Amino acid sequence: MLTAYDYPSAKLAEAAGVDLLLVGDSVGMVVHGYPNTLQVSLEEMVNHTIAARNGAPNAFIVADMPYETYHISLEDTKRNAFELIIKGKADAVKIEGGSQSRLLAIQAIVDCEIPVVAHLGLTPQSIHVFGGYKVQGKEEKQYQVILEQAIAVEKAGAFMLVLEGIPEALGKEITAKVGIPTIGIGAGRYTDGQVMVYHDILGMSDLLPKFVKQYANLSATISKAIGEYIKDVKSEKFPAEEHIYFPIDKKTK
């Protein structure tokens, strides 16, 4: 699984053979420059999901339900999920957390015939509760809570589970105890799959968490290319004759 937030990234990811695309609310940080994911709106998520669908018409696309869209009432929760499926053309939605209210939200959405991906561990929408982006489940009590929540979200109807920022042992135990696929991001080697942020693996992000492996350094490549363009324009090397419609003959100029 890989994130995709627009037409070109989704198109490239689908062409490369990625199994699943996630239009994550991480778009707020890596595309919009927000300090966290809490400021991302439903409208923004719908628009990014539409763009990703246009780029990857055959992909299975999961769209994040942003902060506040599933926290107030079950009616709002269902209505907002419909927006991502009908307008955004997503195949499934993802919500964070495993509390009782989240279980009810999962049940309500599934009851609308909408597939739900659950998300446990380091849930970015809970950073104010966690006190930042910190690994979850290190202490025994918290470890057990996340394990119990994993079993509970499956019972509530989630068909897949993202596990983020947890000890490897917990990722392994959850994967063994639930019957739905687990997708890890900083959850070790024993989950059923992995998800990464597009900009992280391509070297286009401001941050580099421990769990990220960079497969390219596009920031340097892009900056160099733009610098060469600027240099060519200022030195009048660009546009050259081959880039011009009906160039003026230099002899008759």
CB 59 within 8 A of CB 87: no
User: Exactly one of 164, 228, 236, 242 is catalytic; which is it?
Assistant: 164
d(CA 76, CA 13): 32
- CA-based end-to-end distance of the chain: 57
C-alpha 14, offset from chain centre? 15
Alpha helices in the chain (DSSP H): 7-16, 27-30, 42-55, 74-82, 100-110, 127-130, 140-156, 168-177, 198-201, 218-234
β-bridge pairing 116-121 and 2-3: unpaired
140 annotated active-site: no
> What residues are labeled active site?
164
